[in-house]
Structure 1
Amino acid sequence: MTTARDLMIVVMDVTPMRPVGQGDLSLALAGAEAIDLVTTGAVALDGDLLVPGPPTAPDDPLLDVAASSLVRAAPYESVEDWLWRRGRGLASAYATRLEADGLAVRPRLRRLRVRSGRPEPVDSPDRRHATERWTADEPVLAALAAAVGLREEPADGFTDLPDDDAVETVLAAVGDALAELEAVRQRRSIEDAAFDNIWRAP
């Protein structure tokens, strides 16, 4: 069980405060993986650079892929670059993995008897573990969930975060990446609106 897997299960299980975009979730999942790799000693941070430790073989298949994909030659990779590279399509990868492991299913339409809609978590030890972390307001999971819009961030921030500069660096990078993604969306929306206005002009 990993933070990224727990986050994915919670996203499937909880009604969000606002719609959770796949891009936002993918960036947060990449951040969760980075935090898990840091806390297990698979990688350390030198400033904002991810410096791999000895090769590891995490039990979780996707975290294993993440560990295997670390840049192992200097000058290494920044956390921000990791989020954008590793995060590409990561939400879909986690949803597919949970379905493949029997931890999530797509609801069936009664008449057509085909699976449709987004996956939903089934009752399992993994779901119970994720739910326990969520209901206990475990600070790392709570911070990532707030970043993607599942919950509000406390006015004074998450004060119970681990006293670990690396974790704080990763969470800050996730917040910056999400802000950058939103800025790109807004810029595209403005450009699209301007383009539409050109065609509508008399």
Structure 2
Amino acid sequence: MTTARDLALVTLGLPRDRSVEQGDLSLVLAGAEAIDLLESGGLTLDGDRMVPGPGVTTGDRLLDQALASLVRREPYETVGDWLWRRGARLAAAYAEELERAGLVVPPRGIGLRSRFTRTAPADSPERRRAEERQASGEPVLAALTAVLRTGDTQVDDCRSVDGDAANAVLAAVGDAVTELEAARLRRDVEGNAFDNIWRG
């Protein structure tokens, strides 16, 4: 199991009052993929640029897609740009993949694409492994769940993650999620202002 799959299973197991936005989750899943690619040797960082490594096969379909999506020409792509591009609808892609593998139970009458957080993880060794990884405080998963505000760990406290490259990815993920939240707030404010104009 990859970090992204573990993160998806852990997130699906949250109670409804702690559910996360799909957009936030998609960005964080892309960050999890980047960290897995760093660990597999399929990716290195040159500053904030993502430099593809030699061709590797991870054995995971979505992670192989992430590897194939890396820009392979200089000046390469920044981590932030890649998160936004790769993260488009990534939560839905993981929901569909986990359902295909029998690792989640979809809700009746509700499509996975629009209701990711209403699915439930099936009782499986993969789910138990993901929950054990989270409970152990494993640094990467703890940092990613902190960005989603689903865990007790604060982002500033996730300093035990090994490697400057992994920390650079985590920082970019945090920035992207913050940017998305700011855009969401602006949209709400503008929508409320528009409504007030029509109400007089």
Q: With structure 2 as the length reference, what TM-score do the two structures score?
A: 0.92
What amino acid does structure 2 have at the position aligned with 1:60? D
| C-alpha spacing 1:155/1:50, structure 2 compared with 1 (3 Å) | closer
| C-alpha spacing 1:47/1:105, structure 2 compared with 1 (3 Å) | same
Aligned-residue CA RMSD (Å):
1.7
Aligned-pair distance for 1:15? 2.9
What amino acid does structure 1 have at the position aligned with 2:187? R
> 8 Å contact 2:40–2:58 — kept in the other structure?
no
- Name the structure 2 match of 1:128: 128
SS of corresponding position for 1:51:
strand
Following TM superposition, the consecutive aligned residue runs of length 4 or more in structure 1 with deviations greater than 2 angstroms are 14-19, 114-118, 152-156
| C-alpha spacing 1:104/1:77, structure 2 compared with 1 (3 Å) | same
CA–CA distance in 2 between the matches of 1:15 and 1:71? 38
Structure with the largest fraction of helix: 2
Q: Gapped runs of 5+ residues in structure 2? A: none
SS of corresponding position for 1:85:
helix
Q: Who wins on radius of gyration, i.e. which is larger? A: 1
Aligned-pair distance for 1:82? 0.6
CA–CA distance in 1 between the matches of 2:93 and 2:110? 18
CA–CA distance in 2 between the matches of 1:86 and 1:80? 10
* 1:79-126 Cα deviation digits (max 9, x unpaired): 000100000000000000000011111245xxxxx6776221112221
Aligned-pair distance for 1:132? 1.2
What amino acid does structure 2 have at the position aligned with 1:192? G
- Name the structure 2 match of 1:44: 44
CA–CA distance in 1 between the matches of 2:73 and 2:158? 34
CA–CA distance in 2 between the matches of 1:154 and 1:190? 28
SS of corresponding position for 2:161:
coil
- Name the structure 2 match of 1:181: 180
> 8 Å contact 1:17–1:150 — kept in the other structure?
no
Identity of aligned residues (%): 56
> 8 Å contact 1:26–1:88 — kept in the other structure?
yes
What amino acid does structure 2 have at the position aligned with 1:130? A
| C-alpha spacing 1:132/1:72, structure 2 compared with 1 (3 Å) | same
> 8 Å contact 2:146–2:154 — kept in the other structure?
no
Please tell me whether residue 190 in structure 1 is matched to residue 189 in structure 2.
yes
- Name the structure 1 match of 2:66: 66
Aligned-pair distance for 1:156? 5.6
> 8 Å contact 2:30–2:90 — kept in the other structure?
yes
Please tell me whether residue 29 in structure 1 is matched to residue 54 in structure 2.
no
* 1:1-46 Cα deviation digits (max 9, x unpaired): 1000000000011237743000000000000000000011100000
| C-alpha spacing 1:155/1:122, structure 2 compared with 1 (3 Å) | closer
SS of corresponding position for 1:45:
strand
CA–CA distance in 1 between the matches of 2:26 and 2:184? 16
Please tell me whether residue 103 in structure 1 is matched to residue 110 in structure 2.
no
Aligned-pair distance for 1:53? 0.5
